[in-house]
Structure 1
Amino acid sequence: MTANEMPPMATPRVAAGALFFNNEGHVLLVRPSYKNHWDIPGGYVEPGESPRAACVREIEEELGLTTAVGPMLVVDWAPAEHEGDKLLFIFDAGSLNTEQEQAIRFADGELTEWRYVAVGDLERYGPPRLTRRLRAAVAARYSGNAVYAEHGNAL
């Protein structure tokens, strides 16, 4: 089979994000300067970069923190109307201690603030599919089983 005979293949954009928690089980959300809603720290995977490596890099770029991330919690097939096909990975980043929280710096200007949000209040901070994705990730963390989702709905 030649290159011209190959069937079309998906070429999704790939992004990775970190799910941080506080001692009360609240999720750390950040406010991007370029979005109308809150999100989790993270961003697009660069060519040749793994989703996990992208997540660690984005934490450092966005929050100024150097930290390891734990297991993958969810991978979400989440195509967007104006962006095409997307695969979104969320990794468990554990809890930040007081020293780490105080060290958060928005060095690149992408983010304007951060806060912890109760899981039951997530819908007030982002679009429904983001809320569904985050809830799926929280459930995966507590069950110990990573999940696959589509449009934020765990399957």
Structure 2
Amino acid sequence: MTTWRTRIEPFTRPLFFTASRLSRGMTLGVRGVATDTQGRVLLVKHTYLHGWWLPGGGVDRGETTQAAVVRELREEAGLIARSEPRLLSVHSNERFFRGDHVLVFAVDAFDLTDRTSHGEIAEIGWFAPDALPEDTTRATRARLAEVFDGAPADPNW
């Protein structure tokens, strides 16, 4: 599903990045890997980006990376972590945005409730790691191959 936000995102992205760069010297993001009892992984589809992604987002000033991934999972998917997020990997996202880094965490125990963010997420889905939607992003596929298939962690996002 293509929304107006998806169509304008390529034009608004430079403005967002400029504002981010002016307010921070480096950006830091988190993504969360959560699997249900059937071994399916949680993915989200944003209203402003194409494809399926691991849920996550930016780390706010004064916030730990663990707190950020817990917050993002709650906001985007209604997932409430019952265990401390476990760091899986760290990646440089220089290809997409200079100075950006992404940390990937596993959340091993959680409850599900209503999400708190509205307007940002178009869809939420649980998928078998070997049967991901066709439009799953390249980086998401790479991270899941590292987690589920034992592929070596790529330092680049």
Match of 1:7 in 2: none
**Inter-partner Cα distance in structure 2 for 1:96 and 1:125:** 26
**Inter-partner Cα distance in structure 2 for 1:40 and 1:138:** 14
Of the three residues 123, 131, 145, the one matched with 1:121 is 131
Percent identity of the aligned residues?
25
**Inter-partner Cα distance in structure 2 for 1:126 and 1:76:** 18
Pairwise mapping of residues 130-145 of structure 1 onto structure 2 (< 5 A)? 130-139=140-149
Distance 1:46 1:96, change over 3 A: closer
Q: Does 1:75 align with 2:90?
A: yes
- CA deviations over 1:65-114 (Å, ceiling 9, x no partner): 43244311111122234x223211111112556xx2xx233533211211
Q: Does 1:58 align with 2:72?
A: yes
Confirm or deny: 8 A CA contact 2:28 2:101 kept in the other structure: yes
- CA deviations over 1:12-52 (Å, ceiling 9, x no partner): 32111111112232211111111111112210011222211
Gaps in structure 1 of 5+ consecutive residues: 1-10, 141-146
**Inter-partner Cα distance in structure 1 for 2:79 and 2:68:** 14
Q: What is the DSSP-based 3-state SS (H/G/I as helix, E as strand, rest coil) of the residue aligned with 2:57?
A: strand
Confirm or deny: 8 A CA contact 1:74 1:137 kept in the other structure: no
Of the three residues 16, 30, 34, the one matched with 1:20 is 34
CA shift at 1:138, angstroms? 3.3
Confirm or deny: 8 A CA contact 1:80 1:86 kept in the other structure: no
Size of the aligned set, in residue pairs, is 132
Distance 1:76 1:122, change over 3 A: farther
Q: TM-score, normalised by structure 2?
A: 0.70
Match of 2:54 in 1: 40
Distance 1:69 1:33, change over 3 A: farther
CA shift at 1:59, angstroms? 1.7
Q: What is the DSSP-based 3-state SS (H/G/I as helix, E as strand, rest coil) of the residue aligned with 2:39?
A: coil
| Structure having the higher Rg | 1
Q: TM-score, normalised by structure 1?
A: 0.71
**Inter-partner Cα distance in structure 1 for 2:99 and 2:39:** 31
Aligned AA for 2:117? A
Aligned AA for 1:22? D
